[in-house]
Amino acid sequence: MLIESILISLAIGFLIRGKISHLAGLDLQFPWIVMLALGLELAAGVLQRKGIIPVAGTTPWLHLSVYVLLLAFIIANWQHDGIRVLGLGTLMNFLVICFNGGFMPVEVEVPFLMGFDAASENLRLGMVFGHKVMEGGDVLTVLGDIIHIPPPYPFPKTISLGDVVIGIGMGMLIVPQMKKKES
């Protein structure tokens, strides 16, 4: 959902006659931390699917490490309104992941009925990094992946309330910056 949030924010910025070049003026500290976190998540997911790293032992720590890195970036850039909102969404996701053993619980029954057969099956097989099927003993499930975006959306998925807040924060960061006057 992060890529969609960025693209929607850029589209809105263009619609209000903003300039993408103004994003260069966004003073973000330690942007490499975000790249490190996303790279760690991507690499861990690939290694998990290939069976190189076990799901049970390493996934929780790697998943939590990604969020610790993201939260460090957010704290370093707290002066931006959009970052504060983005931080709230990240914290919402981090909390549900912490309280569920390092995994984001995902509601799969409705998506399965909506035709997300492959995604639901991959989740049941433990092949989706940092995510697990929502069970009765999970806590803070209202913050889990429970919001279903079905077809005809080209990339059907299930997201969390935290993901929605992150998307709003991304818009609050990008759109006003694109509209700023050049100094």
Using CA atoms, how far apart are residues 71 and 5, in angstroms rounded to an integer?
Answer: 19
- DSSP H helices, 77-182, are 81-98, 109-113, 117-124, 161-179
Using CA atoms, how far apart are residues 78 and 175, in angstroms rounded to an integer?
Answer: 17
pLDDT at 117: 67
Using CA atoms, how far apart are residues 168 and 146, in angstroms rounded to an integer?
Answer: 18
User: Given phi > 0 = left and psi -120 to 50 = alpha, else beta, which region is 150?
Assistant: beta
Delimit the domains of the chain by residue range. Answer: 2-13+30-179
Asked if 114 contacts 141 with a C-beta cutoff of 8 angstroms, the reply is no
pLDDT in tens, the chain (183 residues): 788 999 999 999 999 999 999 999 999 999 999 999 999 999 988 888 787 877 666 778 888 999 999 999 999 999 999 999 999 999 999 999 999 999 999 988 766 666 666 667 777 777 778 888 899 999 999 999 999 888 788 888 889 999 999 999 999 999 999 998 765
